[in-house]
Amino acid sequence: MLNIILLGPPGSGKGTQAELLVKKYNFFPISLGALLRKQITENTPHKALVQEYIDNGQLVPDSLSFQLVVNQLVQNQSQGKPLLFDGFPRTMDQAAFLDGLLIKHNTKISSVILLDVSHETLLQRLKDRATIQGRSDDQDDQKITTRMHIYAEQTLPIANYYQAQHKLYRVDGAQNPEQVVKAIEKIIDRWIKK
Ligand code: AMP
């Protein structure tokens, strides 16, 4: 089963690529950042907690993130679509949890796409996104620094974990979105033909 993880720092284009790939491959998208922001806009009981963590650029506690991911997999059970993760996992604990969860669903991760983008380009993109989307976590230099730090310390080690399993593919995320999606499609199509 084709199940993909999009890995990359804040501003690397995971969300944009997820949208493009869902259209082409009929993926069931699991975007944890979007699911968390929905807790705020839909005024769920988790709103205050989520707001506090997102506003500080910190990772939301696993107890909630895991619950949201489990719910998504249950929702997809009747559809059985291939999965596209964007923004999850972000730590080794989350990667281990996801492996166990997928085993319970008789499936596993097939490929992990790492979007490579230079620090300067990321900062520029986040600044632009702050103006266009008005995300509070993009508007403050300190919050951006925190998120970049978390990425380097906690998320990047996951790349080694998947590399050791021969599942990691690096894509130049500094290209325009259409070029990036083409590069990802090549990887996916090669995997499908295997
Ligand atoms: P994103 O939309 O992926 O940039 O995520 C926005 C924010 O949501 C992050 O800065 C975190 O506060 C929270 N978040 C997203 N993904 C995760 C995750 N895997 N674990 C914990 N918190 C997350």
**Residue 136, pLDDT score:** 83
pLDDT category at 139 given cuts 50, 70, 90 is: confident
Determine the distance separating the centroid of ligand 1 and the alpha carbon of 154, expressed in angstroms.
12
Where are the chain's structural domains? 4-193
- Domain 4-193 classification at class level: alpha beta
* Rounded average pLDDT over 11-17: 95
Pocket residue to mutate for ligand 1, from 6, 12, 36, 138, most atoms within 8 A of Cβ:
36
Tens digits of per-residue pLDDT, 128-138?
998 998 888 88
The pLDDT of residue 49 is 97
Residue 34 Cα: closest atom of ligand 1: 2
Write the pLDDT tens digit of every residue in 40-68: 999 999 999 999 999 999 999 999 999 99
Q: What is the DSSP string of the chain?
A: ---EEEE--TTSSHHHHHHHHHHHH--EEEEHHHHHHHHHHTT-TTHHHHHHHHHTTPPPPHHHHHHHHHHHHHHHHTT-PPEEEES---SHHHHHHHHHHHHHTT----EEEEEE--HHHHHHHHHHHHHHH--GGGS-HHHHHHHHHHIIIIIHHHHHHHHTTT-EEEEETTS-HHHHHHHHHHHHHHHHH-
Residue whose CA lies nearest to ligand 1 atom number 19: 88
Any atom of ligand 1 within 6 Å of the Cβ of 173: no
What is the reported pLDDT for 40?
Answer: 97
- Cα angle vertex 151, ends 11, 136, to 5°? 50
